[in-house]
Amino acid sequence: MKKMNWDQSGESYLSESIRMLEETFDLLNEHYFESALSKSVITVQSTPSAYGHFTTKRIWKDDQVERYEINLGAETLHRPIEEVVATLIHEMVHQYCAENDIKDTSRGGTYHNKRFKKEAEKRGLVITYNHRIGFSITQPSSELLSFVQSTKWLEQISWHRQTRVPEPNVTVSSSSTRKYECDQCGMSVRATKEVNIICGDCNSHMKQV
């Protein structure tokens, strides 16, 4: 058992993650959106039920400039960098639709329609359907994979995979947990032992990842 220092580990991790995501936003904006998107505020917060979110209103104000927020789930940053990038593009597509008066979702922003799919697949994503959240399941296309490999992101893959966000002032056990994920909707859960589990939304067997 060991005590993790949040001030040294957690804050450093978050600030570095946000810096990297801000740089990535700029690169993706130039490459996939012709630099048409306004600068959003990038945040990293716990979002256990989603990889990320986009605010449909400009909730941040800086020097009289109002900005949208794009958040990426703190629990998901250990994924391969190309998957993190795909999530960021997913949220940037929501921003593009918001700024161009394209209605891309319904049901309180949870159900993604064919307009979202069309705009997302123009920008390096492969989108598949789920009955609960619509055209929202997101994977990187071969073109996006090539683009990621052509940039400095590839050098940072090992850092992302090995680093975790510690909870403030918590004791971390040396025993590991197991993560199970639905390959249909992306819902994930953790367990301290091997289990057989079904996603209640998709009725699909959740796989250990």
Clarify whether residues 168 and 180 are in a common domain. no
Structural domain including 50 reads 2-172
> Which pLDDT belongs to residue 156?
60
Clarify whether residues 183 and 111 are in a common domain. no
Clarify whether residues 120 and 195 are in a common domain. no
Give pLDDT tens digits for 174-209: 345 667 677 777 766 666 566 666 665 655 666 777
**Alpha carbon 176 to chain centroid, angstroms:** 23
Beta strand ranges found along the chain (DSSP E): 2-3, 41-45, 52-54, 60-62, 65-67, 69-73, 105-106, 111-112, 125-130, 134-140, 171-172, 178-181, 188-191, 198-199, 204-205, 207-208
Residue 67 three-state SS:
strand
> Which pLDDT belongs to residue 196?
64
> Which pLDDT belongs to residue 189?
65
Clarify whether residues 144 and 200 are in a common domain. no
Clarify whether residues 103 and 205 are in a common domain. no
Clarify whether residues 146 and 112 are in a common domain. yes
> Which pLDDT belongs to residue 171?
36
As a whole number of angstroms, the distance between CA 179 and CA 173 comes to 16
Clarify whether residues 164 and 179 are in a common domain. no
CA distances from 21 to 16, 43, 77, 131, 186 (A): 9, 9, 10, 30, 21
State which amino acid sits at residue 1.
M
What backbone torsions phi and psi does residue 89 show, to the nearest 5 degrees? -60, -40
> Which pLDDT belongs to residue 47?
83
Give pLDDT tens digits for 11-31: 666 777 888 899 999 999 999
What backbone torsions phi and psi does residue 143 show, to the nearest 5 degrees? -65, -40
CA distances from 97 to 29, 53, 103, 122 (A): 14, 14, 7, 13
pTM here is 0.72
Clarify whether residues 124 and 182 are in a common domain. no
> Which pLDDT belongs to residue 182?
75
Clarify whether residues 105 and 206 are in a common domain. no
> Which pLDDT belongs to residue 200?
58
> Which pLDDT belongs to residue 97?
98
As a whole number of angstroms, the distance between CA 183 and CA 64 comes to 43
Residue 44 three-state SS:
strand
Q: CATH no. for residue 89?
A: 3.30.2010.10
Q: How many domains does the chain have?
A: 2
> Which pLDDT belongs to residue 49?
81
Q: How many CB atoms lie within 10 A of CB 94?
A: 25
Low-confidence ranges of the chain (pLDDT < 50): 1-8, 158-175
Clarify whether residues 130 and 190 are in a common domain. no
